[in-house]
Structure 1
Amino acid sequence: MSTVPKQVDYIVCGGGASGCVVAARLAERSDATVLLLEAGGDERVPDVEDSRVWMKNIGSERDWCFTTEPQPSLNNRRAPLPMGRVLGGGSSINGLVWARGHKADFDSWAEEAGDPGWSYDSVVEVYKRIENWLGPSHPRLRGTGGPVSITLPDNPVPVASTLMDAAGKVGIPAYEDLNAEAMEGPGGCGIPNVTVEDGDRRVSMASAYIRPAMERENLKVILGAEVDHIRFEGTRASAVSFVLDGQEHTVEASREIVLSMGAINTPRVLMQSGIGDEDHLKKHAIDLHQHLPGVGRNFQDHILLAGCVWEYVTPEPPRNNSAEFTFFWKSESSLPSPDIQPMLEECAFGSEVTRPQFDLPDDPATAWTLAPGLVAPKSRGYLELTGKRRQDPIKVHTNFLSEPADMKALTRCLEICREIGNAEDLRPFVKQELMPGPLKGAALEEFVRDAAGTYFHQTCTAKMGRDAMSVVDGALRVYGVDGLRIADGSIMPTITTGNTMAPCVMIGERAVDLILGA
């Protein structure tokens, strides 16, 4: 059993993509004592470290295995909501894509927060110090020498470059680096950046930040520690109670507590600690500490369809992270920034409904998928407690596709994917289209509802801003509570354009700047 201290300067709850950064940087940049509490275990296992087998972690003991409530807009299906339960969090089990987000994302955050430190120009400088970019040099936008090694996949499957050619013929330009100018304009296509070293070794935020920092005497990491609730002295968050090996422990924080447990567990702990909507807490006999009706609201996630599938002429096994092509584009030309992001899945990717319906093959080498994705959803969901105890499950109402605009954007995205996949350029890789075929009208919408799932990018449930539904201010401080901040994807006012790991790392870096007054 780990020795549990009685008091430290900072407690960081959650060792995910943001929490690893916060704990390591606080220990490195100050002489303060830092305690990192992570519910999961050690990330140094083959299924995490080998970038080629990342899907093995989904549904394993390294996944919280959350699911949605039955969603009427998904034909009452429950969608899986994977979240990392291991040191490194999502960065230890995800598909390894490094996507910073679009300029419009961060400029809108800055406006909501009233803080130019969240603007695109500002966060680019934060990203540059994070990155050890091994791709094409771009001193204005990309960094080298940072803790996180980022590269382009080595020798992608041949269909990836051909997809770029076909996308170009429908007006989507190709970029060597999808985190450079492509994210300052209408979008583009290309091979995604990935967090990989030495060909197939995952770079998680545990390996990039925490493992090197563990050599410092002022950092302590406790694995298997499930945070139960926050304790208060008056208006100040003073201590964290957690369960380790079946025993409850309480550690005091002399300076600050930082919640970095993700967009489901962070609001859960807030609510079960008495911070949230008064009526909802009263329903579960939880004493109110601070009325913040936005806790657990504003849930957002990217929607991914499974998918547009073609059978290979010649079988081709997946390579690298099995997702070596993507594009960012607008479903309507009048939009201010891209709202769709399909992803190449190097297998026949179907849902629990569409896979048997279309009799998709199980052998991943026999087919490939261009999976339509929506990255600027209008639909908003919410979380609901079922009790006051840590063990009581939390209900996640995602409301996917509840807004007609989302259905319209996704069907347009599907049409673009089929146009690209059925283009003359792709003939060498297409024996036949397996799914969905030329569906129209109600049949197309029914397919979308049966195929829709998540991109694994749950965010926005404790949003930053200045309105009545905001939970944290521009410095990530929880309104009405002293000594408590949030640093994870839940603080996003709106979800970023693209995979969310990179923005969560940036949020962690920015949180430390704010805490230390840098």
Structure 2
Amino acid sequence: MKKINSDKSTEWQIDDLDLKALSGRLSRRSFIARLIQLGVSLSAAGAMATRTASAWSGRDALRDEYDYIIVGAGSAGCVMADRISATGASVLLIEAGTDQVDQPTIVDSYRWVENFGSDLDWNRSILPQMPLNDRQLYAAAGKVLGGSGSINGMLWFRGDMRDALRWQQLVGPGWKPSKLYKAFLRVENFLPGGSPYRGSTGVISVGRYASDNPITAASIAGAKKLGLPPVDHNASAFIDGAGVADVNILPNGRRSGPAQTYLVRALKRDNFTVLSDVLVTGLNLNGSSCRGVNAVVDGQARHFAASREVVLSGGAFGSPRLLMLSGIGPEDVLRAAGVTVRHRLSYVGRNLHDHMILPGIRFYAGPELSPSETYGRVASHSFFRTNSIDAAPNIQVMCMQGFFPPNPLTAGEGFNIMPWLAKVESRGSLALTSADPRVSLAIDPGYLREDVDRETLLAGLDYAISLGLTEAMAPFSIGLRSPASPFMTREEKLAFITANASPGVHYVGTCSAGRDPNYSVVNQDFRVWGIDGLRVVDASVIPEVPGVNPQGLILALAELAAETMGYAPTDHPQQSVGIDESTVT
């Protein structure tokens, strides 16, 4: 395992100090002293300390009105805060979670799994799922600045063009692949360079470290024997094949997430204010217009007006919840929860779906398996299909360099190969259970509700076992550890899936974008149907989950939303996105 390198650049150290000061864990005096130690002039250090204090702790000086109010400082919310505040508009960003973004489990990329189930995770209960033997499952989501982008495993993808074309078909020409991929280039800074189709000047730093572990090349060679060609997933229009894993991790092992990048940039502006640990209880509606939000700040009710717009970035659970608490949603759900109906919008909370993973496939270590893991801990990804060639591959298989955590076995004793249900047919929903914003949602992702999803996972299980037993993987494995035998009956395989399949924690769809207000919540411009001055920008607007880990695409969608609002940066270099949309119809 590589450890974090303490020899950081001055820029990274200044950003670290910024985050500590902004969260109240560094006094003004200490902040200025440590800035001077890094070579910052006394006048500049003083100005930075003053700006930090006004951006963060000025609760007593909060204004009653801002140009824009953003609810939710998750991945998309951080992007929106940066892009809008860069124009000089006053922006208030409100986050229900904590500001503790300097926690070691966030900063140290190797420790990301420790965030799940901790105080940094909303860890919402999911309703019993009959196809999974009613096991108790939880929906992880970041309860901290940066949202899930501060606690996730940092896997990085641009995605398959067929997913982007599908989104355009469902939503409109504003979501065409070329626009989405150009937005992605504004996000990505691919550190190794060398690819004309990778972002090189974006905000999020992306590394490729897995090539240093020999199991990576072996897993790609094994996939080739199984019929999958080598591919650079983030520089190709179509992702079918096997390739090296990319991660948004800096060369010193630190997370390069939305809070560490986009949010830090916004915090350096006097026109930007952020509040954490603040519950937004509802939207301030005047007829068919949204005029602001109602919130609880330090135990006191506050009303904040938005002179231009309110942007919801609360994620797949937070955004639909706030809409429904405000009387926007399906009439039957609102009335059952005791909420007065203000605007009927039947698709709010519908279309909830998520990837699924199958983490129980483990192999015994062979003589050449290294106990040392590179940043990200994933060696390679394979994408293949049992679905139509017109769609993105419906199966992703992730080869780990060791065991997928949590696991009682130590590094070097073996490794996991994990199938993902990448394209999901099953759908669920979420609903209010009370008009009280503190009461839990009823969350039903509908896992494996459709038989086709179970069949897809069966194919993924077979592939994962076959990959681990290929000749190329023989130096790294002496055999299958779990399940006990590669020669299972269909019934035994189904039982294994029922006992082991778990949430992919990539929830989307609950405020779907679309062309018809009867089957969506927002239009292609992210505007809520029938409500002026209100947009939703986060994973909830994705109408169909992409066939990859969606972090990079969520950030790209937020960049696209900023562009739609007229707030895309004008100084970003033009670059080819490396796709030809005419090749897919």
TM-score by length of 1: 0.94
Provide the residue aligned with 1:89 in structure 2: 147
Provide the residue aligned with 1:441 in structure 2: 490
Give the secondary structure class of the aligned counterpart of 2:412.
Answer: helix
Give the residue type in structure 1 aligned to 2:199.
G
Could you give the per-residue CA deviations for residues 441-491 of structure 1, whole angstroms, max 9, x where no partner exists?
112111111111122211111100023120000100001111000000100
Give the residue type in structure 2 aligned to 1:484.
L
Give the residue type in structure 2 aligned to 1:322.
R
Give the secondary structure class of the aligned counterpart of 1:123.
Answer: helix
Matched, 1:255 2:305: no
Alpha-carbon shift at residue 398 of structure 1 (Å): 1.1
Specify which of 534, 538, 543 is matched with residue 484 of structure 1: 534
Could you give the per-residue CA deviations for residues 177-210 of structure 1, whole angstroms, max 9, x where no partner exists?
31111xx236121122211112301101011111
Q: Distance in 2 between matches of 1:78 and 1:5?
A: 44
Give the residue type in structure 1 aligned to 2:462.
E
Give the secondary structure class of the aligned counterpart of 1:270.
Answer: helix
Structure 1 residues 106 and 154, CA, compared in 2 at 3 Å: closer, same or farther? closer
Structure 1 residues 387 and 250, CA, compared in 2 at 3 Å: closer, same or farther? same
Provide the residue aligned with 2:52 in structure 1: none
Aligned CA RMSD, in angstroms, stands at 1.8
Checking the alignment, whether the CA contact within 8 Å between 2:295 and 2:301 is kept in structure 1 is yes
Q: Distance in 2 between matches of 1:296 and 1:333?
A: 28
How do 1:401-416 residues align onto structure 2 when only pairs under 5 Å count? 401-416=448-463
Give the residue type in structure 2 aligned to 1:441.
R
Could you give the per-residue CA deviations for residues 359-407 of structure 1, whole angstroms, max 9, x where no partner exists?
x753243121001101101000100211111111111111111111101
Structure 1 residues 17 and 251, CA, compared in 2 at 3 Å: closer, same or farther? same
Q: Distance in 2 between matches of 1:256 and 1:125?
A: 25
Q: Distance in 1 between matches of 2:273 and 2:435?
A: 29
Alpha-carbon shift at residue 330 of structure 1 (Å): 1.0
Matched, 1:423 2:470: yes
How do 1:23-102 residues align onto structure 2 when only pairs under 5 Å count? 23-28=81-86, 30-40=87-97, 41-102=99-160
Range that drifts further, 47-56 or 186-195: 186-195
Q: Distance in 2 between matches of 1:14 and 1:288?
A: 24
Specify which of 384, 396, 403 is matched with residue 443 of structure 2: 396
Structure 1 residues 333 and 486, CA, compared in 2 at 3 Å: closer, same or farther? closer
Alpha-carbon shift at residue 127 of structure 1 (Å): 1.1
Give the secondary structure class of the aligned counterpart of 1:325.
Answer: strand
Provide the residue aligned with 1:515 in structure 2: 565
Provide the residue aligned with 2:20 in structure 1: none
Alpha-carbon shift at residue 160 of structure 1 (Å): 2.0
Q: Distance in 1 between matches of 2:129 and 2:251?
A: 42
Give the residue type in structure 2 aligned to 1:217.
D
Structure 1 residues 253 and 332, CA, compared in 2 at 3 Å: closer, same or farther? closer
Structure 1 residues 143 and 272, CA, compared in 2 at 3 Å: closer, same or farther? same
Specify which of 318, 342, 345 is matched with residue 397 of structure 2: 342
Alpha-carbon shift at residue 317 of structure 1 (Å): 4.1
Structure 1 residues 272 and 132, CA, compared in 2 at 3 Å: closer, same or farther? same
How do 1:93-492 residues align onto structure 2 when only pairs under 5 Å count? 93-115=151-173, 117-139=174-196, 141-153=197-209, 156-175=212-231, 177-181=232-236, 184-185=237-238, 187-314=240-367, 316-332=371-387, 334=389, 336-349=391-404, 361-436=408-483, 437=485, 438-467=487-516, 468-492=518-542
Q: Distance in 2 between matches of 1:79 and 1:172?
A: 33
Q: Distance in 2 between matches of 1:2 and 1:395?
A: 36
Provide the residue aligned with 1:354 in structure 2: none
Range that drifts further, 335-344 or 368-377: 335-344
Give the secondary structure class of the aligned counterpart of 1:258.
Answer: strand
TM-score by length of 2: 0.83
Give the secondary structure class of the aligned counterpart of 2:378.
Answer: coil
Structure 1 residues 346 and 377, CA, compared in 2 at 3 Å: closer, same or farther? same
Alpha-carbon shift at residue 432 of structure 1 (Å): 2.7
Checking the alignment, whether the CA contact within 8 Å between 1:361 and 1:367 is kept in structure 2 is no
* Identity, % of aligned positions: 32
Checking the alignment, whether the CA contact within 8 Å between 1:33 and 1:218 is kept in structure 2 is yes
Give the secondary structure class of the aligned counterpart of 1:344.
Answer: strand
Provide the residue aligned with 2:46 in structure 1: none
Give the residue type in structure 1 aligned to 2:301.
E
Checking the alignment, whether the CA contact within 8 Å between 1:2 and 1:222 is kept in structure 2 is no
Checking the alignment, whether the CA contact within 8 Å between 1:188 and 1:329 is kept in structure 2 is yes
Q: Distance in 2 between matches of 1:512 and 1:241?
A: 24
Q: Distance in 1 between matches of 2:360 and 2:171?
A: 37
Structure 1 residues 104 and 333, CA, compared in 2 at 3 Å: closer, same or farther? closer
Could you give the per-residue CA deviations for residues 207-238 of structure 1, whole angstroms, max 9, x where no partner exists?
11111221111111111122211111121111
Checking the alignment, whether the CA contact within 8 Å between 2:282 and 2:325 is kept in structure 1 is yes
Q: Distance in 1 between matches of 2:388 and 2:521?
A: 34
Could you give the per-residue CA deviations for residues 291-329 of structure 1, whole angstroms, max 9, x where no partner exists?
111111101111101132101134624331222321222
Checking the alignment, whether the CA contact within 8 Å between 1:186 and 1:330 is kept in structure 2 is no
Alpha-carbon shift at residue 348 of structure 1 (Å): 3.8
Alpha-carbon shift at residue 517 of structure 1 (Å): 6.9
Structure 1 residues 348 and 192, CA, compared in 2 at 3 Å: closer, same or farther? closer
Checking the alignment, whether the CA contact within 8 Å between 2:210 and 2:245 is kept in structure 1 is no
Q: Which runs of 5+ in 1 are unaligned?
A: 352-359
Q: Distance in 2 between matches of 1:456 and 1:328?
A: 19
Q: Distance in 2 between matches of 1:68 and 1:270?
A: 20
Structure 1 residues 402 and 364, CA, compared in 2 at 3 Å: closer, same or farther? farther
Alpha-carbon shift at residue 248 of structure 1 (Å): 2.5
Checking the alignment, whether the CA contact within 8 Å between 2:207 and 2:251 is kept in structure 1 is no
Checking the alignment, whether the CA contact within 8 Å between 2:81 and 2:93 is kept in structure 1 is yes
Provide the residue aligned with 2:550 in structure 1: 500
Checking the alignment, whether the CA contact within 8 Å between 1:127 and 1:142 is kept in structure 2 is no
Alpha-carbon shift at residue 31 of structure 1 (Å): 1.8
Q: Distance in 2 between matches of 1:350 and 1:408?
A: 26
Alpha-carbon shift at residue 350 of structure 1 (Å): 8.4
